[in-house]
Amino acid sequence: MNVFEAIKNRRSVRSFSDKAIPQNVLEKMKLALRYAPSACNFQPWRFVIVTDEKIKKALAHAANDQTWMAQAPVIVVACGFADQAYKKMGGYGSSVEIDLAIAVDHLTLAAVEEGLGTCWIGAFKEEEVKSVLSIPKTVKVVAMMPLGYPAGANLIRPIDESRRRPEAEIFTVNGFGK
Ligand X SMILES: Cc1cc2nc3c(=O)[nH]c(=O)nc-3n(C[C@H](O)[C@H](O)[C@H](O)COP(=O)(O)O)c2cc1C
C-alpha 13/C-alpha 119 separation (Å) is 6
* Binding test (CB under 6 A) with ligand X, winner from 96, 119, 132, 147: 119
Residue closer to ligand X (CB basis): 163 or 178: 163
DSSP state of 152: S
Backbone CA torsion sign across 108, 110, 111, 115: positive
The site that binds ligand X (CB under 6 A) totals a number of residues, namely 10
Residue 123 binds to ligand X (criterion: CB under 6 A): yes
Measuring CA to CA, how many Å separate 9 from each of 5, 139, 156, 158? Answer: 6, 33, 7, 4
Is residue 121 part of the contact set for ligand X (CB under 6 A)? yes
Does residue 39 contact residue 86 with C-beta atoms inside 8 Å?
yes
- 48 Cβ neighbours under 8 A, 6+ residues apart: 76, 77, 79, 133, 135
Rounded least distance, CB 30 to ligand X, Å: 21
Q: Which of 2, 23, 92, 122 binds ligand X (CB under 6 A)?
A: 122
Contact status: 61 vs ligand X (CB under 6 A): no
Is position 125 an interface residue for ligand X (rule: CB under 6 A)?
no
Query: Residue 65, interface with ligand X (CB under 6 A)?
Result: no
Q: Does 104 bind ligand X (CB under 6 A)?
A: no
Residue of 11, 56, 130, 140 interacting with ligand X (CB under 6 A): 11
Cβ distance 113 to 1 under 8 Å? yes
CB of 117 to ligand X, least distance (A): 10
C-alpha closest to that of 78 among 38, 116, 115: 38
Residue nearest to ligand X (CB): 122
Nearer to ligand X, 91 or 122 (CB): 122
Residues that bind ligand X (CB under 6 A): 11-12, 14, 66, 119-123, 159
